[in-house]
């Protein structure tokens, strides 16, 4: 799986970081870094929660 962010939608709320701290990091300025764009399957639950709870719908999973 691949994690993709739409930077036009992301507002740096950091919900994704709360749900999946190994995969997302949001700076004090509200800039999101994806720490692993191709996370292992065992993190899928975390990724799905981040996608579901992102308040702006900026995240999605693409299957490879």
Binding of ligand SF4 by 61 (CB under 6 A): no
Judged by DSSP in three states, 16 sits in: helix
Sole binder of ligand SF4 in the list 2, 4, 11, 45 (CB under 6 A): 11
Binding of ligand SF4 by 56 (CB under 6 A): yes
Pairing label, strands 32-34, 24-26: antiparallel
Tell me the C-alpha distance between 61 and 64, whole Å: 10
Binding of ligand SF4 by 33 (CB under 6 A): no
Residues that bind ligand SF4 (CB under 6 A): 5, 10-16, 24, 26, 32, 54, 56, 58-59
């Amino acid at each position: 799986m691949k994690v993709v962010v739409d930077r036009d939608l992301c507002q740096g709320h950091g919900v994704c970081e709360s749900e999946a701290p190994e995969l997302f990091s949001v700076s004090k300025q509200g800039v999101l870094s994806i720490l692993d764009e191709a996370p292992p399957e065992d993190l899928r639950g975390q990724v799905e929660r981040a996608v579901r709870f992102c308040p702006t719908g900026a995240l999605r999973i693409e299957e490879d």
